[in-house]
Amino acid sequence: MRNALVAGGRGLALALMGWTGSLALGVLAVLSIAFVPLGVGLLTTPSVLFLVRAHAERRRRLAARWSDVRIPAARYRPLPPAAGGGPLAGPRLTWLLLGDPATWRDLRWLFVDEVAGAAVAVLAPGMLAEGVFGILVAVGLWRPLVAADGTYWYQFVPVTGQVSALAAGVVGCGWLAAALRWNPALVRAHFRLTRGQLAPSDADALNRRVEELTETRRDAVDTSAAELRRIERDLHDGAQARLVAMGMDLGTIEALLDKDPEQARRLVAQARQNSVAALGELRDLVRGIHPPVLAERGLGDAVRALALRLPLATEVSVNLPGRAEAPVESAAYFAVSEVLTNAVKHSGADRIWVDLHHADGMLRVAVTDNGAGGAVITPGSGLAGVERRLGTFDGILAVSSPAGGPTMATLEIPCALS
């Protein structure tokens, strides 16, 4: 009963949105576009179309919240900035908006929503109201109705007295039974109709996929180039400089062996220190490229080893029945490393939890800290770099970090384990 009543209220709200919001925006859009040749529409159309986009986006949120129907986000074409760097405006903006196929999809949905969408939605409260009215007729409302007209027709039942009124009550109970059974389904049907109108077409989805692959390929190339420059810089400034110094020391030692053995011994000790330092730097460099523990023991043990080096208490839970491909493991490892580094530097936490598991074809890693919260993904930040790294593998990064904490960063990469 509760679900039926809630669905009835939601159906009434959706019908009113269609008959008021969608109808008004549809009329405004038609008039504004019709006045484009006169010049007036060039100024009014952008504002109307942005209102249409906001109206459609609100319906997407209601679909997810009320019926768990997921409507994909619109793939609007990006709008370039104006010449002065400010927001684009004027006739150029109008033509760009009208040239976007997603705009016409939104407009088509408006007209469907105000007719078919509202009709489907209003059935939910309509069945409830009809059922309640039939019961009221049975319990006594039939008397004034029959007194006024002689015979009152409730649906297909002619009500002339108490017996026929009871028959009307039975029909009303049938409407209530139908409402109990079908009201939530009617609301879902409304949102599925909305999804059919607002969801991008296969061609749009394919074009978007091509754009995403192009972007991730460019990010992968840029990341590889930056990594190569880092390796060259570290080799030049670190191990290479120490090896050159060690070679010079060995040359000096060779010249001093007979003349000044004591000085030669000191240079030998210095050369040994340089060799140890160079070896340590080479090991750090190799670890930065691909940690040996990751190659030998897999992602779970590599993350455990990473957690042991952190200055904060860190709990690691691993449930991986196999190993992913080496590139996927490497991407996940360095993504977790960056997230942990951010938590140590910026969160103010004193404890971190890491959970790794594989389910439904997805490698999922959740990193949670009890810090102050407020973490966001901003362009140029470490988290944005993690997002780009995961995007190469169709992975995603989601961050939940309300003020006051806690912060949870969730990484997902589609992959299979072997």
CATH number, position 271: 1.20.5
- What pLDDT does 227 receive? 62
Tell me the pLDDT band of 27, cut-offs 50, 70 and 90.
very high
Which of helix, strand or coil describes residue 365? strand
Strand partners, 368: 353, 408
pLDDT > 50? residue 83: no
Same domain (yes/no): 222, 364: no
CA-to-CA distance for 56 and 62, rounded, in angstroms? 10
Which of helix, strand or coil describes residue 140? helix
Over residues 192-209, the mean pLDDT reads: 78
Same domain (yes/no): 125, 222: no
Find where tokens 């491909």 sit.
325
pLDDT > 50? residue 77: yes
- What pLDDT does 191 receive? 92
pLDDT > 60? residue 272: yes
What pTM value is reported for the model? 0.54
8 A C-beta contact, residue 342 and residue 385:
no
Q: What is the DSSP letter of 259?
A: T
Same domain (yes/no): 350, 256: no
Look over the chain and give the mean of its residue pLDDT values, rounded to a whole number: 81
**Domain range for 224:** 209-289
Find where tokens 């995403």 sit.
212
Over residues 17-44, the mean pLDDT reads: 90
Highest mean pLDDT among 54-63, 147-156, 207-216, 233-242: 54-63
Same domain (yes/no): 79, 43: yes
Same domain (yes/no): 55, 181: yes
Give the number of residues written for the chain. Answer: 418
Of 24-33, 49-58, 201-210, 406-415, minimum mean pLDDT range:
201-210
8 A C-beta contact, residue 59 and residue 69:
no
The token pair that represents 402 in the structure block? 């309300």
Over residues 321-346, the mean pLDDT reads: 85
Domain total for the chain? 3
Task: With respect to residue 204, please indicate whether it lies within any of the assigned structural domains.
Answer: no
Same domain (yes/no): 49, 169: yes
Last residue of a domain, one of 255, 289, 323: 289
Tell me the pLDDT band of 89, cut-offs 50, 70 and 90.
low
